[in-house]
Structure 1
């Protein structure tokens, strides 16, 4: 599937809003039968456009109310260090996103923890698994917008 059409875009927007809705409800929202909707969703999945269908969990209700952004700088850019860092950040609970960056910092990590002590535990896990030159943390005081929906 190289291109998707207006109906596919409507399906994607609906699924980004509520991936748990029934095929009947989704079809009704986009003007297709249940079977036609199922075929389109299947094609979007097979094309890799839809990569997962998940439930969003309220972090405060599950004791992960503090979001932290960690700015990581390293002295090493060799493939072994990078593989070790990638492996460490994938297995440490609480790390949600890791980005390799341009500019002054090397990596940006977005994590969720219970509190500052939870952040310290996460930080300790990370530095024990891979040497890091510098880590600076910024704690989120207010989430103004946090969306998973892409503008289509």
Structure 2
């Protein structure tokens, strides 16, 4: 069961995983050792899946976001495993979701420019059969990487 200090730690770590345990302890009014134990427990219990760094996409040369909407006529376990393996090997695919509705999958691609989408498209269709693929180009990012709400955690 999470208490308010656990929730505050989760909020703080989501915004800056590089905060020192000393800073975190100070912000949640705990001793350093008690804070460290709480963080270890949150990791062990799976509330903290991993710690990461957010890189600047522009500085890395991949400022363009394209969403590929994929429909398939295949829904077998084998096809889904093959598709998952194909997109796992493409670093430009930064997110992938299986959906309900008219579209089966959506892929979020981080690309150097719009024209590079064709390179990724060809990599995918060479290895797995798709029924229909369409793409949308993000014109502007309004919200990205926002911290998850922690109030629902138990």
With the length of structure 1 as denominator, give the TM-score of the two structures: 0.96
- Decide whether the 8 Å contact of 2:5 with 2:28 is kept in 1: yes
1:144 aligned onto 2:136: no
**Residues 78-134 of structure 1 deviation map (CA, whole Å, 9 limit, x = unaligned):** 111111001011111110111110000000111101012221111111111111111
State the shift of 1:143 in Å. Answer: 0.5
CA RMSD across the alignment: 0.8
1:17 aligned onto 2:18: no
Task: Indicate which of 3, 27, 52 corresponds to 2:50.
Answer: 52
Long gaps (5+) in structure 2: none
Detail structure 1 runs of 4+ shifted over 3 Å in the superposition. none
**Aligned twin of 1:126:** 124
With the length of structure 2 as denominator, give the TM-score of the two structures: 0.95
Report the Cα distance in structure 2 between the residues aligned to 1:117 and 1:124, rounded to whole angstroms. Answer: 12
Residue 105 of structure 1 aligns to a residue in which SS?
Answer: coil
